[in-house]
Amino acid sequence: MIDLLDRLARPFLYALEPEDAHGLAIRMLRFAPLPPVAGDDKRLTVRVFGLNFPNPIGVAAGFDKNAAVPDALLRVGFGFVEVGTVTPLPQTGNPRPRLFRLDADRGVINRLGFNSQGADAVLRRLAARAQFGGVVGINIGANKETPDRIADYVRLIERFAAVASYVTVNISSPNTPGLRNMQQAAVLDDLLARAIDARERVAPNAGPTPVLLKIAPDLSLPDLDDVVGIARSRRIDGMIVGNTTVTRPKSLRAMEQAKEAGGLSGRPLLPLANRMLAETFVRVEGAFPLVGAGGIDSGASALGKIRAGASLVQVYSGLVFRGLGLIAEIKDTLLAALGRDGQASLVDYVGADAAAVTAEPWPK
Ligand SMILES: Cc1cc2nc3c(=O)[nH]c(=O)nc-3n(C[C@H](O)[C@H](O)[C@H](O)COP(=O)(O)O)c2cc1C
């Protein structure tokens, strides 16, 4: 069924303007008669953040911003879904066009700017499906015009803790002016202190809710030192490395689209994203697990991401170019590696190449 859906839909989706294609893909997932969640091979199970993931492959934030299809995404084989980014109040984001495909590079540039239906709508949908189980996290962000950014995050944690498996504090999207400045040490320390405080305050009713921090791949290494130090001292549960990049690698071939403002994702992001992941892994020293995102578009690149330091991986742009078949390909590759190496789980791969990756020349 998934294979059929993929083969019928992809040529058609490709012909559409990228944002229309995305809207149609969401509608198809919503209405397709999908089979129930199929069990995964036990060797793909990952336990981190106190949660059980049936497999380590997640949908990255931005694909299902408004929680329209989390259960369909679990049914097509993902081990977890990160809904959002959701903002407290609805906002429309930047004017269209604001999403561009770099076909020659298998990359995407977006400057959506947190288009969100807002917390009320997303909360309603997550509450309605909370009893279905499965790992569904929520990625939260501040409204563009908010008078108090940190207060936005605090309020969203309080509201979503009861219906989300985990909460990701997103301060790394390049399309909300000034947002990434929250990665700066003094602001970040205040933000994380108040975020963890909010989580603790609602825990008696909401239960335990892991809080993750999603960072930009464009941080300098001294800034990364600070970010990891603060994340560790504030005892957050994990980090996602990372978001889209505002840099434009020299390798890009789709020159026209590459000039568009916004965050670049997909294959051209892979070297930088892996480098930042490995740099983060060596700094975290096992204090918490990492989620690796950026440039995964094959089984090999997913395994490489785990070896660079990720306990879990997330994909978005790879789905645009490879379709849903990418999920099965990644699982096959991971299981083949486990079989070949006689391993019972993925844990021994996590970070196995981190030191080696940090010793390579900086990606250009
Ligand atoms: C169209 C689009 C929208 C995105 N929206 C969000 C978002 O709302 N919040 C967020 O944290 N990341 C967002 N991202 C970033 C992805 O979650 C991911 O970190 C990044 O794209 C790298 O992964 P990829 O190379 O597999 O796409 C978005 C990415 C794309 C392509």
Cβ–Cβ contacts within 10 Å for residue 130, how many?
13
Q: Check residue 173 and give its pLDDT.
A: 87
Sign of CA dihedral 6, 8, 11, 12: negative
Q: Provide the CA 103 distance to its chain's centre, in angstroms.
A: 22
Cβ–Cβ contacts within 10 Å for residue 106, how many?
19
- Give me ligand 1 centre to Cα 242, in Å: 9
Beta bridge partners of 212: 168, 238
- CB–CB of 284/276 below 8 Å? no
pTM: 0.97
Q: Check residue 128 and give its pLDDT.
A: 97
Q: DSSP secondary-structure letter at 245? A: B
- CB–CB of 136/81 below 8 Å? yes
- Give me ligand 1 centre to Cα 273, in Å: 12
Q: DSSP secondary-structure letter at 100? A: E
- Among 297, 298, 292, smallest CA distance to 277 is for 292
Is any atom of ligand 1 closer than 6 Å to the C-beta of 115? Answer: no
- Give me ligand 1 centre to Cα 205, in Å: 31
Tell me which of 17, 105, 316 to substitute to probe ligand 1's pocket, judged by most ligand atoms within 8 Å of the beta carbon: 316
Is any atom of ligand 1 closer than 6 Å to the C-beta of 243? Answer: yes
Is any atom of ligand 1 closer than 6 Å to the C-beta of 277? Answer: no
Which residue positions in the chain have pLDDT lower than 50?
Answer: none
Name the region of 363 (left: φ>0; alpha: ψ -120 to 50; beta: rest). Answer: beta
Q: Check residue 1 and give its pLDDT.
A: 66
The CA distance from 141 to 98, in Å, is 19
Tell me which of 87, 265, 301 to substitute to probe ligand 1's pocket, judged by most ligand atoms within 8 Å of the beta carbon: 265
- Give me ligand 1 centre to Cα 298, in Å: 17
Is any atom of ligand 1 closer than 6 Å to the C-beta of 294? Answer: yes
The residues near 23 (Cβ < 8 Å, ≥ 6 apart) are: none
